[in-house]
Amino acid sequence: MAIDSRPLAGAGRVEDTINLLGHAARSIVRVVSKITERPPEEIGRKAGIPLLLAPSIKAGLDLDWSDPKQKAAAIQILERQVSSLQQWVDRHLDDVVEQPLRTYLDAITQVRDQDLETAEDGTVRIRQGVAPDRRVSIEDAEMRHGRKSRSKRFDGYKEHIARDLDLPIIVACAVTPANRPEEEGAAPIAEDIQRQRLRLVELHIDRAYVNSPVVDDVIRAGGQVFSKPWGQRARSPDLFSKRDFKIDLRAKTITCPAGQVEVFEPGDTVEFDPEECGACPLRAKCTQAA
Ligand code: SF4
């Protein structure tokens, strides 16, 4: 079996902080307007968020976006009006009516927590840097920024596929937000394979899946795992590289170029017998230590 992943585009629009807050606020007003059968413009005015009367939040703010001071003022104006809308909802709608709005009210809280901070002088500003699990869309709450490579970004999810290499059959699949490591996608795949009582003889994976539980399952059952190793360059061209040492992961042994064998535990440093190394004719190629 082979497991691999590829980008899966999210369904929602990716927006910056101002448009995320504006989008959630506009959705709240739209739902309230439907529930109360009042025009959205009236709700916007009553709830103290006249910005929503404009065709877009940024048009409503009507600022010079190249001026850093005006740009900083924009988020303060919007945050004040969004808070006013939240207070209005709290005051005027009971819990039952509030229920369809919950998604958008929670979205505002999440965007505020991840993207905004309060400065020492009490003003609200956009936080520097990107929050680790930043929400990027209002309508598709789980989608995230992901990277195919250092320069290629995508927005949405990763779809993980486990395919039988002998038969054209997809054995299991999973979807994770694009910012999550590959091994998280392999976990539900491993469960699904167990449920099907399949025994994997060979597993072919990218390095990103090496830490996933399915690898342990295959090794425990006596199968083989194939993955491209990390690049191994010697510290100096005159010295052996890691490639010159034979590592047996199943027996947990490492054999040096002169044939000395040591047992290792993953994560621990291996030390070869200094007596043997002292007399070894290959020593000069092995270490520069005294
Ligand atoms: S010095 Fe010789 S014996 Fe010691 S680890 Fe290197 S190759 Fe092996």
Task: Tell me, in angstroms, the distance from the centre of ligand 1 to residue 269's CA.
Answer: 15
pLDDT at 39: 94
Beta carbons within 8 Å of 102's beta carbon, 6+ residues apart: none
Nearest CA to ligand 1 atom 5: 256
pLDDT of 55 higher than 70: yes
pLDDT of 3 higher than 90: yes
Beta carbons within 8 Å of 238's beta carbon, 6+ residues apart: 285
> Residues 84, 15: contact at Cβ < 8 Å?
no
pLDDT of 157 higher than 80: yes
Q: Does 256 contact ligand 1 (Cβ within 6 A)?
A: yes
pLDDT at 268: 84
Specify which of 165-169, 180-184, 256-260 reaches the highest per-range mean pLDDT: 256-260
Grade residue 150 by pLDDT with cuts at 50, 70 and 90. confident
Nearest CA to ligand 1 atom 6: 286
pLDDT of 77 higher than 70: yes
For the entire predicted model, the pTM comes to 0.74
Percent of the chain with pLDDT over 70: 99
pLDDT of 101 higher than 70: yes
Q: Does 189 contact ligand 1 (Cβ within 6 A)?
A: no
Task: Tell me, in angstroms, the distance from the centre of ligand 1 to residue 282's CA.
Answer: 6
pLDDT at 96: 67
Domain residue limits, the chain:
17-126, 142-227, 242-286
Grade residue 131 by pLDDT with cuts at 50, 70 and 90. confident
pLDDT at 94: 77
pLDDT of 171 higher than 80: yes
Task: Tell me, in angstroms, the distance from the centre of ligand 1 to residue 210's CA.
Answer: 29
- Residue with the bigger pLDDT between 20 and 217: it is 20
Residue 197 falls in which region: left (phi positive, over 0), alpha (psi -120 to 50) or beta:
left
Mean per-residue pLDDT of the chain? 91
- Residue with the bigger pLDDT between 124 and 229: it is 124
Grade residue 5 by pLDDT with cuts at 50, 70 and 90. very high
- Residue with the bigger pLDDT between 221 and 100: it is 221
How are strands ordered across the β-sheet holding 246-248? 246-248, 253-255, 261-263
- CA-wise closest residue to 180 among 152, 203, 212: 212
pLDDT of 11 higher than 70: yes
pLDDT of 229 higher than 90: no
Least confident of 130-134, 136-140, 279-283: 130-134
Task: Tell me, in angstroms, the distance from the centre of ligand 1 to residue 220's CA.
Answer: 32
Q: Best of 272, 273, 275, 285 to mutate for ligand 1, by most ligand atoms within 8 A of CB?
A: 272
Task: Tell me, in angstroms, the distance from the centre of ligand 1 to residue 164's CA.
Answer: 43
- CA-wise closest residue to 48 among 62, 73, 28, 34: 28
pLDDT of 142 higher than 90: yes
Task: State the closest ligand 1 atom to the C-alpha of 272, by its place in the atom list counted from 1.
Answer: 5
d(CA 106, CA 116): 15
pLDDT of 242 higher than 80: yes
pLDDT at 79: 94
User: What are the structure tokens assigned to 200, written together?
Assistant: 């994997």
Task: State the closest ligand 1 atom to the C-alpha of 283, by its place in the atom list counted from 1.
Answer: 1
